């Protein structure tokens, strides 16, 4: 197997650059750079990095992690040099000159950790989410997944299913033996029924994790020139959308991400809803209606001197009626709206943020719990639930058939953690990582 290397500390220049190696030649490569004075395993040592002609490249902190006690399960090395481009390029040049050493591909370090059973697929995905986390709640959710607790839950369910199958097989194969009680398989279905309820409850908690990981979607909807783009700019604190007095300025769906007290919120600015003969604007209106249908929260904007607009689109989202441009009129009927705001003065914006946060917390709950994080997890859990339900509902069928349903259910659980048959997924998952992780 090749030894791989990569810059693991982000873009250059930087104060410090961390170069990571993994594979059978990692420690020999380090010796070629610093000589025989290796630091003790997992202890940092200050050493001089030299070229093959003994010219000094840099002073660096170096660490070695002999297999199997490393991130990848292989011999690993970390070299911490000053983060100048020329310094890193010189080290890379020396590594490239060693046969059997090559640059790592995206996610290759993590893939080797998976291949060497240092991490399962859930933990790998949690690590990918941790690297991408932009808010506190995303970080907590990712840490929960990398902790292994979710893997333990799914492995525990799979073991229960395996034990149930073993009891069924015992009745089928050894029913004439005295130490196998009659109808022992009947005892299985109480366990399977309880397991089904656990999986159903677990799936029900999945929507909260989805909101934390992918963001809470808020659509700004209303007639042209009611202040949707101005509100988007005011909430984001920058000029994301073009604002003019010309109706129909916004013709496509614009989006911006906000961090509201640790939650990721994605705001969508949409084209004004009106009848028009302009083909481009018609497409913008169609997209606006589609965005409203898929949003978690709809902010329906109307000028305070106008009657609140009605939304004809069918959506399960909460609709909050906002009266805009409150700084321009004192005669508005506040009772006609849920909240009066002004993007110009900032009036009502903090209250709007609080309402959005409150609505998220209603969906998510007060604390994080173990729940499926990705659509892939939910799909396999739904598959597991279907097989478990088939086994419970097939009371008139032979025990062998019902046992097969339980086997299929356990296999679906194994595909979540990567225990079985996930080769086709690996390329997709590891491509999410940056080089050097």
Closest CA to 49 of 63, 77, 67, 30: 30
Structure tokens at 255: 């989006």
pLDDT score for 279: 79
pLDDT score for 337: 87
Of 186-190, 366-370, 372-376, which gets the smallest average pLDDT?
366-370
Q: Give pLDDT tens digits for 341-368.
A: 988 899 999 999 999 999 998 888 755 6
pLDDT at 424 over 70: no
State which H helix or E strand residue 78 sits in. Answer: strand 76-83
Report the percentage of the chain scoring pLDDT > 90.
50
User: Phi, psi at residue 323, to the nearest 5°?
Assistant: -95, 115
Q: State mean pLDDT over 292-316.
A: 80
Q: Is the peptide bond before 421 cis (omega within 30 degrees of 0)?
A: no
339 vs 205, 306, 334, 347, CA distance in Å? 31, 14, 7, 10
Residues in the chain: 437
Strands 56-65 and 339-340: unpaired
pLDDT at 429 over 80: no
Count of Cβ atoms closer than 10 Å to residue 338 Cβ: 17
pLDDT score for 22: 98
Helices (H) and strands (E) in the chain, counts: 14, 12
DSSP class of residue 421?
A: S
pLDDT score for 331: 60
DSSP class of residue 334?
A: G
Confidence of residue 387 (pLDDT cuts 50, 70, 90): very high
DSSP string over 24-54: TTHHHHHHHHH-S-PPPTT--EEEEEE-TTS
Confidence of residue 34 (pLDDT cuts 50, 70, 90): very high
pTM: 0.77
Q: How far apart are CA 300 and CA 322, in angstroms?
A: 6
State which H helix or E strand residue 156 sits in. Answer: helix 149-174
Residue 205, helix vs strand vs coil:
coil
pLDDT score for 41: 96
Say which residue, 34 or 370, is predicted with more confidence. Answer: 34
Match 């902010």 to its residue by tokens: 299
Contact 380, 202 (CB under 8 A): no
Q: How far apart are CA 180 and CA 56, in angstroms?
A: 75
Q: How far apart are CA 126 and CA 114, in angstroms?
A: 13
Structure tokens at 15: 């104060």
User: Phi, psi at residue 225, to the nearest 5°?
Assistant: 65, 25
Confidence of residue 111 (pLDDT cuts 50, 70, 90): very high
Count of Cβ atoms closer than 10 Å to residue 305 Cβ: 12
Handedness of CA 96, 428, 253, 287 (dihedral sign): positive
Report the percentage of the chain scoring pLDDT > 70.
87
- Long-range contacts of 167-170, Cβ-Cβ distance < 8 Å, separation of 24 or more: 168/399, 168/400, 168/402, 168/403, 168/406, 169/403
208 vs 11, 204, 213, 368, CA distance in Å? 34, 9, 9, 9
Confidence of residue 248 (pLDDT cuts 50, 70, 90): low
Q: How far apart are CA 7 and CA 184, in angstroms?
A: 58
Of 76-85, 122-131, 242-251, which gets the smallest average pLDDT?
242-251
Of 68-82, 105-119, 313-327, 380-394, which gets the smallest average pLDDT?
313-327
244 vs 224, 227, 241, 256, CA distance in Å? 11, 10, 10, 19
In 281-424, which ranges are E strands?
Answer: 297-303, 318-324, 339-340
Q: State mean pLDDT over 93-116.
A: 95
Structure tokens at 17: 């650059």
Q: State mean pLDDT over 73-99.
A: 96
pLDDT at 26 over 70: yes
Q: Give pLDDT tens digits for 259-289.
A: 999 999 999 988 877 777 777 777 877 888 8
- Sheet containing strand 56-65, edge to edge, reads 45-50, 56-65, 76-83, 14-22, 3-7, 101-103
Q: How far apart are CA 218 and CA 199, in angstroms?
A: 30
Structure tokens at 75: 């011999």
pLDDT at 251 over 60: no
pLDDT at 174 over 80: no
pLDDT score for 267: 92
Q: State mean pLDDT over 246-265.
A: 78
Closest CA to 399 of 167, 225, 78, 233: 167
Q: How far apart are CA 149 and CA 123, in angstroms?
A: 9
> At CA 294, angle to CA 291 and CA 295, rounded to 5?
80
Domains assigned to the chain = 3-104 (3.30.1360.120), 149-205+371-430 (1.20.120.430), 214-364 (3.40.50.300)
Please list, in sequence order, all residues whose beta carbon lies within 8 angstroms of the beta carbon of residue 225, skipping any fewer than 6 positions away: 245, 247, 272
Please list, in sequence order, all residues whose beta carbon lies within 8 angstroms of the beta carbon of residue 271, skipping any fewer than 6 positions away: 224, 248, 250, 251, 252, 253, 281, 284, 285, 287, 288
């Amino acid at each position: 197997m090749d030894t791989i290397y990569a810059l693991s500390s982000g873009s250059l220049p930087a104060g410090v650059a961390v170069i990571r190696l993994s594979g059978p030649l990692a420690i020999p490569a380090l010796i070629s750079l610093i000589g025989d004075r290796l630091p003790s395993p997992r202890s940092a040592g200050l050493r001089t990095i030299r070229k093959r002609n003994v010219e000094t490249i840099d002073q660096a902190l170096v660490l070695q992690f002999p297999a199997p006690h490393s991130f990848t399960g292989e011999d690993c090395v970390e070299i911490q040099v000053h983060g100048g481009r020329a310094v890193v390029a010189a080290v890379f040049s020396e590594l490239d000159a060693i046969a059997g050493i090559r640059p790592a591909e995206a996610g290759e370090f993590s893939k080797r950790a998976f291949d060497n059973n240092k991490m399962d697929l859930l933990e790998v995905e949690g690590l990918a989410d941790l690297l991408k986390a932009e808010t506190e709640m995303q970080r907590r959710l990712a840490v929960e997944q990398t902790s292994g607790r979710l893997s333990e839950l799914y492995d525990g369910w799979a073991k229960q299913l395996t034990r149930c199958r073993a009891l069924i097989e015992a009745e089928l194969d050894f029913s004439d033996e005295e130490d196998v009680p009659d109808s022992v398989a009947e005892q299985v279905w109480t366990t399977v029924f309880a397991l089904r309820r656990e999986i159903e409850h677990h799936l029900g908690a999945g929507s909260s994790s989805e909101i934390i990981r992918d963001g809470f979607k808020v659509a700004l909807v209303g007639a042209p020139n009611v202040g949707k783009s101005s509100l988007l700019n005011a909430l984001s604190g920058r000029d994301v959308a073009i604002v003019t007095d010309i109706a129909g300025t916004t013709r496509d769906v614009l989006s911006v991400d906000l961090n509201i007290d640790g939650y990721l919120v994605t705001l969508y600015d949409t084209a004004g809803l009106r009848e028009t003969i302009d083909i481009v604007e018609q497409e913008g209106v169609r997209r606006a209606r589609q965005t409203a249908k898929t949003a978690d929260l709809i902010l329906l904007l109307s000028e305070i001197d106008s009657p609140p607009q009605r939304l004809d689109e069918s959506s399960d989202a909460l609709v909050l009626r906002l009266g805009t441009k409150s700084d321009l009129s004192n005669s508005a009927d506040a009772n006609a709206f849920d909240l009066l705001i002004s993007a110009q003065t900032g009036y009502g914006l903090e209250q709007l943020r609080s309402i959005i946060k409150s609505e998220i917390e209603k969906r998510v709950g007060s604390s994080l719990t173990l729940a499926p994080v990705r659509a892939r997890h939910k799909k396999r859990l739904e598959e597991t639930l279907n097989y478990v339900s088939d086994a419970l509902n097939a009371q008139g069928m032979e025990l062998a058939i019902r046992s097969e349903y339980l086997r299929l259910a356990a296999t679906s659980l194994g595909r979540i953690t990567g225990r079985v048959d996930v080769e086709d997924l690996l390329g997709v998952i590891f491509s999410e990582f940056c080089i050097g992780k």
